[in-house]
Amino acid sequence: MLSYTLKRLAIAIPTLLILIVVSFVLMHAAPGGPFTSERELPPEVLANLNAKYGLDQPLWRQIVTYVWGIVTQFDFGPSFVYKDRTVNEIIAQGFPVTLTYGILSFVVAVVVGVTLGVVAAIRQNTVADYFAVGVSIGAQVLPNFVMAPILVLVFTLWLGWLPGGGWQGGQWQYVIMPVIALSTSFMASIARITRSSMLETLTMNHIRTARAKGLPERRVILRHALKPAMLPVISYLGPAFVGMITGSVVVDVYFSTGGIGKAFVDSALNRDYAVMMGVTILMGALTILFNLVVDILYGWIDPKIRY
Amino acid sequence: MLNRRIAASVLALAVAAPALADNPVPEGVTLSEDQHYTFWLLDAIKSMDPQVNTDVEGSDILRQLFEGLYNEDGEGNIVPGVALEHAVSEDQKTYTFTLRDDARWSNGDPVTADDFVYAWRRLADPATASEYAWYMELMQVENAPEVIAGDMPPEELGVRAVDDHTLEVTIGTPLPYFPQMLVHASTFPVHAATIEEHGDAWTRPENMVGNGAYKLDEHILGERVEMSPSETYWDAENVVLDRLTALTINDVNLGLTRYLAGELDRVDVPAGQYPRLAEEYPDQATSTPYSCSYIYMLNVGDQGPEALDDVRVRKAMSYGIDRDIIVERILQGGQRPSYNWTHWATAGFEVPEIDYAGWDQSRRMEEARTLMEEAGYGPDNPVALTLNYNTSEDHKKIAIAVSQMLKPLGFDITLNNMEWKVHTDRMQAQDFEMARYAWCGDYNEASTYLDLFTSYSGHNNGEFFNEDYDRIMKESKTAEDPQPLYQEAEEILAAEMPVIPIYHYAQVDMVAEDIRGLPTQNVMQTWYAKDMYRVAE
């Protein structure tokens, strides 16, 4: 197990390097640059800017310098667009925000999704099942860029209960709507996966055995059915968790949270090479890490899996 | 020895001066208990460094935190800032500014001429690598191009401190509108010791030292900016608003929703919503002219399509567009249809008589048909063109409308939507046929627009080169009254039609009813929180 984990972590390094090089090259291949604006800069001004940010160097040297800065000083460089900030500062400001609403959304999505799925499965073809399936399908088809403005309209403009956006250091009033908007579709997916997986598990031999032993139904479900039923859910949760904590541009745009999702999309549109690379690496590292976590969880849930 | 004389502009300033030192609140007005003003920002502030900032929204913030030589009043006239007045030399090339002696930085240090010298050199210095370094060139400050190119040290820039309260600027060619240009945020002074101590981090709230009426309390990128009155500001006793909050909301429609929920005091109105809001909230919906001009630029250069070399085709295209439909049905916010380039409300500028502006649309269509026939084109032999525009619902709607309007004349227009950077990059590489473009004035004078189409401008992406035009614009720099020359330049544009004017912008806002002191007649839309206040309802 330990050697497996170490091996996986060792593979992560070349993976990240490839990610860096490919992103770097693709990014520079896109037309326009960080200093392209409707006011075309005089050549001498552009030359000064390119010199300051090292863009006058050949691409390979830019990549080497960049990677060297990360490896030696954990320095992701200055933002080319938010000029009085470094990439480290931008991530340090935005990522905790994203992490907060991401983790909360994850918890909400898992708790509500699994509950709905289990209830639907054990009460299959009853009103409870139809309700749970209805809710999850409704939540799935309503995209969050539609839901977000509707939430603001209802809770801010009509009811006046919640502020329409902002973050204010993560005060609860500011967190509710981003969490609802972000968690809903994940919750729906989790509910559907849980339901079908649970239905399948309930037909298995060990469940029949448990029931035959006369165990109370509650114990059968929680003790014997839930754990194996969670396998497909877990494999979904890994990427879903990364998706949630690496930010949602929709949440950031509609609720002005100042999170990392908006910064990422802006960096691509602004050709803010440094921010784009920084967030890409962050997301890449998190993806690798959580895929590993999921694989380890597999082994814990299903003892048949060996590394 | 320079032979100085007092310029007419000094007299104008002297008249305006007494009004400024007074309280902005007129007699008999009852102020509200609440003097907190919350305004909207579309995007995160890219920089709070005056010499690094490039954005309009960034300038809106900087104008509260710093004060330059001159400010503007609600009508767009320049009024004293740190400078009380100036004198101009006989040859119109040396400006001597007298600075007020009571101006203070937020740490208590006096604001001196050296602070301006430092800031201006910093703007031009290659080490700063400012995107707005070209503004020094635009102001014609002596040796600016050489300093920016690194051929001369920044100390050679034509700006020097005669003493603590006297600043002398030398410019290369006379510029009648030079004082107006000093309102621009990139010319604001900065505190040298602070920058040297903190480097790029000097703009953080805990480090920043400014000389404006407000100081920075908090800046969370992409979320909010908080400001409160600066006790050291020379006119602090007349500052009324006791707190300023700027909220970033990236979606215009959501901004409006939050305004209606009472979270904001000022917000932009999305296109098409003004008529409804004006009816429902007549005291809050406002539309005032805003110095930007929307056009379709045609590529008349070597890389452009052959058909556009023919002025008849270009004119037919311009005549064929019904601008009334665009402003009345699509934008609906008090924008004006335009038949010329310079914004109609620009100070001192009078739009010349342009023939087709006075015709009705059926007459224009008729003329356009004739021109197309003469040029050998028509519905049977259409001109195929690609219209590039950057991503935006409004640009898209206008582009669709225009392509339909031009179809009957024999234009087969393919719409090509591109991301902003790609669009700009293509335009600047002359890799386009017809492209959506807009320009906003840097200062309130027609040359900010008209200089663009000189052959030497660097922004003339359609490569319209015309000797007469160049000559007129050069002459305007030294003319006693440049306005007739500006009109001539506009007439050349109308006759040659290298661009198709579409409309002149308006600033369409919702403003809380109890807010006073926002500019009403200032086409630059520069506003100063120190001139604003809330009245009791």
Between CA B152 and CA B146 the distance in angstroms is 6
Beta strands in B201-249 (DSSP E): 214-220, 224-229, 243-248
Q: What is the pLDDT of residue B255?
A: 93
B516 closest CA partner among B529, B528, B534: B534
Q: What's the pLDDT band for A43 if we cut at 50, 70, 90?
A: confident
Distance (Å, whole) CA A250 – CA A98: 12
In chain A, residues with a C-beta closer than 8 Å to the C-beta of B459 are 39-40
Q: Rounded mean pLDDT of chain B?
A: 92
Domain ranges of chain A: 93-269
Instruction: Give CA B12 to chain center in angstroms.
Output: 23
The two structure tokens encoding residue B243: 């707190």
What integer is the mean pLDDT of B177-192?
95
Contacts of B360 (CB under 8 A, 6+ apart): none
**What number is the average pLDDT over the span B252-262?**
93
Residue B10 pLDDT more than 60? no
pLDDT at residue number A307:
63
User: Measured between CA atoms, how close is A290 to chain B, in angstroms?
Assistant: 28
Identify the pLDDT of residue A223: 85
How far does A288 lie from chain B, in Å, by closest CA? 28
- Banded model confidence at residue B268, pLDDT cuts 50, 70, 90: very high
Q: In DSSP terms, which residues pair with B38 in a beta bridge?
A: B245
How many CA within 13 A on the CB side of residue A235?
9
Q: What is the pLDDT of residue B141?
A: 96
The C-alpha atoms of residue B478 and residue B178 are separated, in whole angstroms, by 12
Chain B residues in contact with A163 (beta carbon < 8 A): 263
State pLDDT tens for residues B325-350: 999 999 999 999 999 999 999 988 99
* Rounded Cα gap, residues B502 and B326, in angstroms: 8
Reading the block at residue B488, the tokens are: 């001539």
The token duo for B227 is 């400001």
Residues of A whose CB is below 8 A from B202: 84
Dihedral pair phi/psi, residue B309, rounded to 5°: -70, -20
SS3 state of residue B40: strand
Q: Which of A36, A81, A258 shows the shortest C-beta gap to B222?
A: A258
Report chain B residues whose CB lies below 8 A from the CB of A262.
222, 250
Sign of the Cα pseudo-torsion (A182, A183, A186, A192, in order): negative
Q: How confident is the model at residue A214 (pLDDT cuts 50, 70, 90)?
A: confident
Beta carbons within 10 angstroms of residue A29's beta carbon: 8
pLDDT score for A40: 81
Interface test with B, best of A81, A256, A265 (most B CBs within 10 A): A256
Pairing of strands B243-248, B336-337: unpaired
pLDDT at B18 over 70: no
Return the pLDDT at B101: 95
Confidence of residue B22 (pLDDT cuts 50, 70, 90): low
Interface contact flag, A44 B149, Cβ < 8 Å: yes
DSSP letters of B398-443?
A: HHHHHHHHHGGGTEEEEEEEE-HHHHHHHHHTT--SEEEEEEE-SS
Task: Give tens-digit pLDDT for A144-196.
Answer: 889 999 999 999 999 999 999 999 888 999 999 999 999 999 999 999 999 99
Q: Taking a C-beta distance cutoff of 8 angstroms, is the pair B259, B515 a contact? A: no
In whole angstroms, give the CA distance from residue B283 to residue B514.
Answer: 9
Q: Are B274 and B329 in contact (CB under 8 A)?
A: no
Tens digit of pLDDT for each residue in A58-98? 989 998 998 898 889 888 989 988 988 899 999 999 999 99
Cα distances from B221 to residues A221, B243, B302, B353, in angstroms, run: 48, 19, 44, 48
Contacts of A35 in chain B (CB under 8 A): 131
C-alpha B144/C-alpha B159 separation (Å) is 10
User: Distance between CA atoms of B517 and B267, rounded to whole angstroms?
Assistant: 16
Q: Would you call B422 and A262 a contact, using CB atoms and an 8 Å cutoff?
A: no
Q: Please state the rounded mean pLDDT for residues B203-226.
A: 95
* Nearest to B346, CA basis, from B86, B187, B525, B497: B525
Question: CATH homologous superfamily for A93-269?
Answer: MetI-like (1.10.3720.10)
In angstroms, the CA A186 to CA A52 distance is 44
CB contact under 8 A, B150 and A38: no
Residue pair B77/B180 in contact (Cβ under 8 Å)? The answer is: no
- Taking the C-alpha atoms of residue B216 and residue B203, their distance in angstroms, rounded to an integer, is 9
Model ipTM? 0.85
Q: How far is A18 from chain B (nearest CA, A)?
A: 26
pLDDT for the residue numbered B21 = 53
In a mutagenesis test of the B interface, which of A37, A40, A100 is the best target, namely the one with the most B β-carbons within 10 Å?
A: A40
Partners of B268 in the β-ladder: B509
What is the distance in angstroms between the Cα of B247 and the nearest Cα belonging to chain A?
Answer: 8
As a residue count, chain A comes to 307
pLDDT exceeds cutoff 60 at B13: no
Angle at B300 (CA atoms; ends B299, B303), nearest 5 degrees: 70
The amino acid that residue A190 corresponds to is I
Contact B31, B88 (CB under 8 A): no
Nearest Cα of chain B lies from the Cα of A154 at a distance, in angstroms, of 10
- Residues B456-502 pLDDT 10s: 888 899 999 999 999 999 999 888 899 999 999 999 999 999 999 99
* Axis-axis angle for helices A273-301, A260-270 (nearest 10): 140
A279-290 pLDDT, tens digit each: 999 989 988 888
Subunit contact A41:B247, Cβ cutoff 8 A:
no
Calculate what percentage of chain B has a pLDDT beyond 90: 83
Q: Is A83 in contact with B424 (Cβ distance < 8 A)? A: no
Q: What is the pTM of this model?
A: 0.88
Look up tokens 């809001």; give the residue. B277
Q: DSSP for A186-210?
A: HHHHHHHHHHHHHHHHHTSHHHHHH
The H-assigned helical ranges of A123-259 are: 127-141, 144-151, 172-202, 205-212, 217-219, 226-245, 249-255
Percent of chain B with pLDDT over 70: 96
Contact pairs from chain A to chain B, CB under 8 Å:
153
Are A253 and B250 an interchain contact pair (Cβ–Cβ within 8 Å)? yes
How large is the greatest C-alpha to C-alpha distance in chain B, in angstroms?
A: 75
Residue type, B13: L
